[in-house]
Structure 1
């Protein structure tokens, strides 16, 4: 009989650790914004999740866990994701840098699917494992192990050096406490 309370306690802890409430205490929304085509047609809303005490430096250096969620308002073919990512990565990084993470980039790009209104992509990086995970509507499509990949790929949206959209970048970082330059 002593085993039953232990089992229930263990089960309760496991369920609590897997619950959305527990996940929300680890990563919280830091900022959000929208991407619009020609400034008019909303393509997607983006939300950046990170620990509340995050810094821009830690996020950009893949020193903290983060998630970027993209909630789509229009149909977008997978080829458009790949073309846009490759264009931005090429303008942000030297070829030798991209060559180092090319296998991880290819895994993510090979996993993209066409999306429509109401679909959500979620790209998450776990700083403890060094693993990034891409999910579409909560279905995990790809997992890659590389902190360097995370720093480079999240830079598509978050880098101060020619991100996808500077206004979106500012909106995603809006909730961070300002870093004091010493």
Structure 2
């Protein structure tokens, strides 16, 4: 794209790019290990019990790999009603971004999922800026969705923070999981064979 610096291309590439929240998981394992979250708040830790890897995919922009995403879900997960049950989303970044760039882009993508007021936008922007770090290539962030409660954000085995707002959490994870996502191909890769994961015939 002529005339646009690579950094700006990378920021634009955050098409579904809010930094998510996750625990490090050894490559190739299917279960999210309970010991990966020793300092997690009790509700978040309990919500992670029994989660299974549903799918994974890589976000690319103009051929540039932006991040790799992986989704863990609980039994009974239904992609059409993604916000009904606890889940966890992991992003492993291949590019560097500032926390502010991630937060700003997150709000833009959340507007695709559902409407919210200017007051909510300002409150959620401040919340994201407070919990999200700057990221570099290789950084892994994890987000835990707690239905009816909010979201917990983690990186490197530590809690970055939490946002106790159920509507924020629903829209935030909808960046990747809602049918209104700007990246339907990535969504399909993440939800994977959810009938198998959910234990349905």
TM-score range, shorter chain: 0.7 to 0.9
SS of equivalent residue, structure 2 residue 194: coil
1:137 equivalent in alignment to 2:156 = yes
Structure 1 pair 95–25 and aligned structure 2 pair: CA distance change class (3 A): closer
Query: Higher relative contact order by CA 8 Å / sep ≥ 6: 1 or 2?
Result: 2
The equivalent of 1:75 in structure 2 is: 96
- Stretches of 4+ aligned residues off by more than 6 angstroms: none
SS of equivalent residue, structure 2 residue 195: coil
**1:73·1:118 contact (CA, 8 Å) conserved in 2?**
yes
User: TM-score, normalised to structure 1's length?
Assistant: 0.73
1:157 equivalent in alignment to 2:176 = yes
Structure 1 pair 51–92 and aligned structure 2 pair: CA distance change class (3 A): closer
* Unmatched runs of 5 consecutive residues or more in structure 2: 1-32, 37-44
Match of residue 88, structure 1, among 98, 109, 126:
109
* Unmatched runs of 5 consecutive residues or more in structure 1: 1-16
The equivalent of 1:4 in structure 2 is: none
**2:104·2:125 contact (CA, 8 Å) conserved in 1?**
no
Looking at structure 1, the residues matched to 179 and 139 of structure 2 have their Cα atoms a distance apart, in angstroms, of: 28
Cα distance per residue 1:45-74 (max 9 Å; x no partner): 000111133111342xx3210111001122
User: TM-score, normalised to structure 2's length?
Assistant: 0.67
SS of equivalent residue, structure 1 residue 142: strand
Per mean C-alpha deviation after superposition, the further-off stretch among 86-95 and 145-154 is: 86-95
The equivalent of 1:47 in structure 2 is: 70
The equivalent of 1:57 in structure 2 is: 80
Looking at structure 2, the residues matched to 51 and 122 of structure 1 have their Cα atoms a distance apart, in angstroms, of: 16
SS of equivalent residue, structure 2 residue 136: coil
SS of equivalent residue, structure 2 residue 75: coil
SS of equivalent residue, structure 2 residue 189: helix
1:171 equivalent in alignment to 2:192 = no
Of structures 1 and 2, the larger Rg is shown by: 1
SS of equivalent residue, structure 1 residue 117: coil
The equivalent of 1:26 in structure 2 is: 50
Looking at structure 1, the residues matched to 91 and 194 of structure 2 have their Cα atoms a distance apart, in angstroms, of: 19
Aligned pairs, number: 157
SS of equivalent residue, structure 2 residue 144: strand
1:121 equivalent in alignment to 2:141 = yes
